[in-house]
Amino acid sequence: MHLTDEQLNEYLDNETANRAEIETHLDSCDECAARLSALQALFTDLDSLPEVTLPRDIAARFRPRPSLAPQLPHWLTLTATLQAAAALVALIVAIPFFSIMLPKVEMPSFTTWFFEIQSLWTSWLDTLSNLALSPIEGFQLPNYQFANLPTYPVELSTLFIALAIVSIFWIFGNGMLLRNNRS
């Protein structure tokens, strides 16, 4: 088995932990010793080359310029502004319609909901523990309904129309974005 180029380079750079093993192998293997000599000659030739300075600084092209702040294209800001304005207008127009359709709903407080859920949970656990102690064939857990949850008397067609209008505005705005995609 011969030494790899990586092992030979680490040996030349004094970066290897098993230097004694590599020296033992180099003493017994003429091929690896020849490759080591070739690498040493290459590095000697590279060190003897003169330093060349570039006529201009290439790295300057890739450094960020602090004076230029990244800006969005004008068409993109205009389109986003128009889209936001259209959505705001649609929201303002829709508010009176929804306030007429939705009656005032009495909402129970959070604590009322919390205590109702807690009592349902404890009664469900009691039922489960009783079932575990004395199983009954064909027994099913009761299906609890929350009595205090509000219901909204809005027809689905009204919601679909509102969703369709908002979707049209969204598609129109994104269509403008894609059509004006200039860099």
High-pLDDT (> 90) share of the chain, %: 5
The answer to the question of residue 55 being in a domain is no
Each residue's pLDDT tens digit, 12-39: 888 888 888 888 988 999 999 999 899 9
Write down the pLDDT at residue 152.
55
Same domain for 165 and 180, yes or no, is yes
80 and 167 in a single domain? The answer is yes
Q: Is 54 helix (H, G, I), strand (E, B) or coil?
A: coil
Distance (Å, rounded) from C-alpha 79 to C-alpha 16? Answer: 61
pTM: 0.32
pLDDT(127) > 60: yes
My answer on whether 98 and 124 are in the same domain is no
Lookup: tokens for 183: 């860099």
> CA-to-CA distance for 40 and 47, rounded, in angstroms?
11
* In a shared domain, residues 116 and 83: no
63 within domain boundaries: no
3-state secondary structure of 147: coil
Q: Token pair of 21, please? A: 């093993």
pLDDT tens sequence across 51-97: 888 777 777 777 776 665 667 778 778 888 888 888 888 888 777 77
On the question of pLDDT at 154 being above 70, the answer is no
Return the higher-pLDDT residue of 128 and 133.
128
Tens-place pLDDT, residues 87-104: 888 888 777 776 666 666
What is the extent of the structural domain holding 124?
109-142
Asked if 15 and 30 touch (Cβ cutoff 8 Å), the reply is: no
